[in-house]
Amino acid sequence: MMNLTAVDFTRVTLRDCFWAPRLETNRKVTLPIQYEHLQKTGRIAGIDPEYKPGDRTAHHIFWDSDVAKWMETAAYSLATHPDPQLEAQLEEVIAKFAKLQRSDGYINSWFTAVEPEKRWTNLRDCHELYCAGHLMEAAVAHFKATGKRHFLDMVCRYADYIDSVFGTEEGKLRGYPGHEEIELALVKLWKATGERRYLNLAKYFVDERGRQPHYYDVEARRRGEDPEKRGPGRYRQNQSHMPVREQTEAVGHAVRAMYLYCAMADVARETGDRSLVAACETLWEDVCLGHLYITGGIGQSGSNEGFTFRYDLPEETAYCETCAAIGLVLWNHRMLQLHGDARFADVMERGLFNGTISGVSLSGDRFFYVNPLASLGNHHRQEWFRCACCPGNISRLLASVGQFFYSESEESAWVHMYAEGEGRLRVGDREVTIRQQTKYPWDAHVRLELNLARPATFTLALRIPGWCRQASVTLNGTLVSMAGMMEKGYLKLNRQWQSGDTIELCLPMPVERVRANPAVRQANGKVAIQRGPVVYCLEEADNPVTPLSRIALPRSSALNARYDRDLLGGVVVITGEAEVIKADPSRKWLYDTRAPQTEPMRITAVPYAVWDNREPGQMLVWLREI
């Protein structure tokens, strides 16, 4: 294991044309409107232990997590943009949770006001530990942003109580969460506090999952239920069908799976457990080589909000929950720190530039829960959801997106992604600032300048994206021979660096047709358009043809890229000549033996991440190829 350390987002400044505008919208629009929705829907009022006791319709079992995600995002925002009003709102919500906390440390609004007698009686279906995890993440973020301990101390009391309830010791429950999340949160809590019991508890939850006798069977019988009625595969949905080290394929609910895999990577990193690393690698192969959409989305089916089977990648019915794509990014980021391997950064980048940020409108006030790869024009972002996990999740991701750009170690500085701005790294005892000048992902050129207090020898590792096959690099104006200097997708430059040294990357971004493995039956005979890390789609707004599937792209047709500063916040669009099957409205036939008539048409493709930001219409990622 390599054990890189990700550079915190507070040490990364983005001034680019892609991320910076979205971060500003997230801070100025998304964060305030989420607070408004939390107020309007009663989620914040519901924290009060006296809030309409017993009234199920006025409450929801995992509302606490929706509030906690907003709190975490607010803390991230305060870390980079002090705001007295936002801080006051956050402190008010923290005070409400302080009032809710029971004398034993327990914090959960549903099981305090609605069903207090059912605490810890149904870990399988209820979300007590899931909500606890999000509170822990929020408290750690608040502590790091403000230096104040009162929220952190609250969740530590809660974690201490949870530790007294669960474990292998005599008198404890040998349970674990039905919806994973607390495991990774406990690792964050241990790193913030140094209290190793929290890491041990995270390890316990990971290790205990799926062991026999199955805890969910045990607790079901305690409730008077017959667990056998749920069928033999009843625990695949929450990845508890077998111990995690024995799992070789991704199954069940995609978000739960991603949070579990994140926790496995975290525990492996902190304990040196190579068996968990090996399990993560096996699961990564299954997810990313058998279940991953070209947009970076995962979770094919809405019926289980998760995985079906390898190479099953439907388009219109693709579920691709925003939270699942975010979880995939978080997991690959963790795997990247363990291995220093660009294949993880490639997947992370694919998700970030496509299937995650599609989850929020350019205006910052509407959200996708589901991110299909084709639409008949009836799928649109919404202002809010009764199950509102996705808005808070995309908001906290954007607020901390700088964490994905750089890593550091004792002897190396790593650049994973490219954007105008700078990262402030520590390589051993040396401070190194890396400034980037680029219009990535719209432009292929990246200029990096290093600033150091004094000359220092270390390795600078620059990711050469997997989609780039003809990269070139110059160092202080001299062309660098990359032969023998590439390792796991990174160009390793080891030398004595001086302040002012410059590296220029050229990462050619031709417009490319991407084809799926022929085992993906839905994509046979089709192509998707990609340029650099950006996946494209056709929208009816630019291509007035219905259905869009009438359009076919000739293999010989040239595809051209141009930047349009006035379209969708400024994007590169792809244009080219295609063929469209002629419609004949005068004929009422359903089938015909005659070959269809076609005519040429010029198509325009826009980045998938920004679709459905204009007038409603159809959308398509995969095009028939002729």
Enumerate the active-site residues. Answer: 305, 389
Whose tokens are 């906390």? That residue is 101
Angle at Cα 403 formed by Cα 5 and Cα 373, nearest 5°?
A: 125
Do residues 244 and 204 make contact, with C-beta atoms less than 8 angstroms apart?
A: no
User: Could you tell me which of 145, 138, 148 has the C-alpha nearest to residue 71?
Assistant: 138
- Cis omega (within 30 of 0) on the bond before 53? no
- What is the length of the chain? 626
Q: Is 250 left (phi over 0), alpha (psi -120 to 50) or beta?
A: beta
- How far CA 99 is from CA of 49, 106, 615, 625, in Å, comes to 8, 11, 46, 61
d(CA 297, CA 282): 19
- How far CA 332 is from CA of 263, 283, 326, 342, 480, in Å, comes to 12, 12, 10, 10, 29
User: Could you tell me which of 451, 476, 623, 450 has the C-alpha nearest to residue 551?
Assistant: 623
- Its sign, for the CA torsion 367, 369, 370, 373, is positive
d(CA 60, CA 471): 52
d(CA 255, CA 542): 34
- Report the amino acid identity of residue 245: R
Q: 216 in helix, strand or coil?
A: helix
Q: Which residues does 64 contact at the CB level (< 8 Å), separation at least 6?
A: 47, 107, 108, 109, 110, 131, 134, 135
- Report the amino acid identity of residue 616: P
Angle at Cα 402 formed by Cα 399 and Cα 407, nearest 5°?
A: 145
d(CA 335, CA 324): 16
d(CA 278, CA 283): 9
- Its sign, for the CA torsion 112, 114, 115, 119, is negative
Cβ count near 265 (within 10 Å): 28
